[in-house]
Structure 1
């Protein structure tokens, strides 16, 4: 047994507390992400070599994908002669976590094993915020968020942490009863917080997540299991829809909004999104390669409203966001930006899917968590801009990089036990 170092303790502390601290304190997500990047870079440059696992093609592709958004934003803004440096800030967060990924590939396994407590602790923190530190962001609808995260981002992150709490069961070892209870409590807390926020866009991710889990768990199962388990889940969704007035009202309003949209009433929640999506596609068609440049979509809103291509109310809301992450990047930074954004989702998904074949159970567990997290964020981004806030982009970037680093480190250990 090797002696636990101060560095091991620091890694364990950051892994366990990051989700909770990011949700509890304004600015903590970015500050801790930057600190982790700086400390990781210092560790990589230090004389202590640590575990030297060879970076394969998949790991290299992962690093390139993390660098792609900043490269695309820089290329587009510079090509338009308007650098708009503030828009470089959010995509730079992806670049900052590359050292984290590389450093965790060299970290001790005993420090990484604490990561399985991060998501239940984070999910419980979101419920604490919702119950005692929340802010009502809407007039009359009681849409709860935190003091600095609106209900959509807050609810989506709470849901993600809750799902990952359950997915982390028996990750590194067979969990003790109290750890199982903690992780189940994290699942319940995340679901409850999501319900309190009424953020229905995030709920779309649940069937996708369950489909992935069933696909993974269903290998080698009987035909009966493969048929009855999905039916039981569908029945559970039906029960939740019937029992929860919040869920029922939030889902039913979609149908109502679509009907209103068809009859000319476009200034509803769904109607505004549809207007913005349509205009975003038109702007991409007019500026396909490098887009409009930084804040290009926002600056086009007044002209679009004057031309009658969307309502004044939709134009006003469009100055805030497009409500679709892929369309937002493609409108501002062109196909180059859209492809860079897709890489942030697709490459990690491929990376984690490949690591699911690792001989290490710990690596497979980290890969499953990373796969679910990346897929959930992609689904979240279909109805809201997940990377318009520096905090949310920091959370996604750091957690994906950390899980990738853990998966690679555990995989190295299985391939070469002398590294332990």
Structure 2
């Protein structure tokens, strides 16, 4: 009898602990998107979610067997990290270089825990809304009150612009296809403030990727939601216009700088100018870095030269007069694809493209689902990598801890919750 009571008490304690872990994990899913870019220690939310996920996995015991799509997804994440391990081993680079790509590996326990938590789906939407609204509010404060030239939240302006762009794009999907008026209103507010944060960051790559993503969404979503989508996009355009008016100087100056820098770089007149005249703009520097990165990559196309070795190889080109010495000591090519090609070669580039493209391919099959959550999750899950892919053409998207952590964790959360919803639907169908 005593043994029975002991086992019962242990079971009750385990259930209570599971509930506590579940609630804390749910709260962290809500907090993470905004905390990462608003609070200086916001990345700790991901660490806490990892710890709670490990505890949750221990408490729940055996889980459902992984589906084929899940196995591919997990293998791609692990492979991305292993390629960096290979680069570390071959080129004797600093172990600190593994810190950023390790986010893809550390996010996987969270995946295994959340893949049975369909009840977290609505809280993910709340997290996206809070994140975009928070980004907009802090950008207004930094730009208007602190008089900063570029809003950056708690991180670097470029990464702040990228994450704000991703949040606003994902919220735009929710605003278009959400059925409840209050939910749609909150998503619209989040989109407007997220776009404002993107513009106030002064990140031209984020501006460009946002516009392209919106155009793609119009093509994909508008045919199914014509009136609501067009009215929403028109409203957001008007609101964004006023946001741009508030930041007109920054917005116009950044575009003029880009235009002049591009023209100066390719102008025949610059051949007679001094080097510092030709490369005194960020655009001129980037174009020269792109040229240098391409030439460096040709020397080691398969496995690259490892992280931290770009400048060494670029200096050899500068000594030969093939690139300007003014672009030395940047450390990377200011473009994710070329940087990866230089550091990990074609092997690394294929891995990078895989973690961007595979989620889009996987989610495509659920874009026309009659289930609202499946459709919304698949659209959000497609928009996130699309945003990163487009941004990667003009800057590094996975070369900072904040943007890498955001992509790895948000992809894991979306992927796992979509699987949880599929399991819930399957279980409900079997009972009927």
* Interval of TM-score (by shorter of Structure 1 and Structure 2): 0.7 to 0.9
Greater Cα shift, 11-20 or 291-300: 291-300
Q: Distance in 2 between matches of 1:238 and 1:105?
A: 37
Residue 94 (structure 2) pairs with residue 88 (structure 1)? no
Structure 1 residue runs of 5 or longer lacking an equivalent are: none
Runs of 4+ displaced beyond 6 Å = 134-137, 235-242
Q: What's the TM-score, normalizing by structure 2?
A: 0.83
Residue 333 (structure 2) pairs with residue 329 (structure 1)? no
Q: Distance in 2 between matches of 1:408 and 1:40?
A: 16
More helix by proportion, 1 or 2?
A: 2
Q: Distance in 1 between matches of 2:144 and 2:309?
A: 31
Cα 1:355–1:40 shift into 2, 3 Å: farther
Which one of 12, 17, 23 corresponds to residue 37 of structure 2? 23
Q: Distance in 2 between matches of 1:205 and 1:43?
A: 37
Q: Distance in 2 between matches of 1:293 and 1:190?
A: 36
Secondary structure class of the residue paired with 1:145? coil
Q: State which structure, 1 or 2, has the greater radius of gyration over its C-alpha atoms.
A: 2
Q: Distance in 2 between matches of 1:268 and 1:294?
A: 25
Cα 1:185–1:135 shift into 2, 3 Å: closer
Cα 1:257–1:35 shift into 2, 3 Å: same
Q: Distance in 2 between matches of 1:214 and 1:121?
A: 24
Correspondences of 1:277-316 after superposition (within 5 Å): 277-316=290-329
Count of paired positions? 404
Superposed displacement of residue 135, structure 1: 11
Secondary structure class of the residue paired with 1:144? coil
Secondary structure class of the residue paired with 2:133? helix
- Tell me which residue corresponds to 2:275: none
- Tell me which residue corresponds to 1:157: 163
Superposed displacement of residue 275, structure 1: 0.7
Contact 1:24–1:129 (CA<8 Å) still a contact in 2?
Answer: yes
Deviations 1:317-338 (A, max 9, x none): x22x321111111101111111
Which one of 180, 183, 188 corresponds to residue 184 of structure 1? 188
Contact 1:12–1:112 (CA<8 Å) still a contact in 2?
Answer: no
Correspondences of 1:215-294 after superposition (within 5 Å): 215-219=219-223, 244-263=248-267, 264=270, 265-294=278-307
Greater Cα shift, 11-20 or 33-42: 33-42
Greater Cα shift, 369-378 or 297-306: 297-306
Residue 70 (structure 2) pairs with residue 76 (structure 1)? no
Which one of 209, 212, 218 corresponds to residue 214 of structure 1? 218
Q: Distance in 2 between matches of 1:157 and 1:165?
A: 12
Contact 1:27–1:391 (CA<8 Å) still a contact in 2?
Answer: no
Superposed displacement of residue 236, structure 1: 7.1
- Tell me which residue corresponds to 1:131: 140
Deviations 1:242-292 (A, max 9, x none): 964543332233221121112322332111111111111111110011111
Q: What's the TM-score, normalizing by structure 1?
A: 0.85
What is the aligned-residue RMSD (CA, Å)? 3.4
Residue 151 (structure 2) pairs with residue 144 (structure 1)? yes
Contact 1:135–1:146 (CA<8 Å) still a contact in 2?
Answer: no
Deviations 1:7-35 (A, max 9, x none): 33122201111111111222422x33233
Q: Distance in 2 between matches of 1:236 and 1:135?
A: 21
Residue 53 (structure 2) pairs with residue 40 (structure 1)? yes
Structure 2 residue runs of 5 or longer lacking an equivalent are: 1-14, 271-277
Residue 135 (structure 2) pairs with residue 121 (structure 1)? no
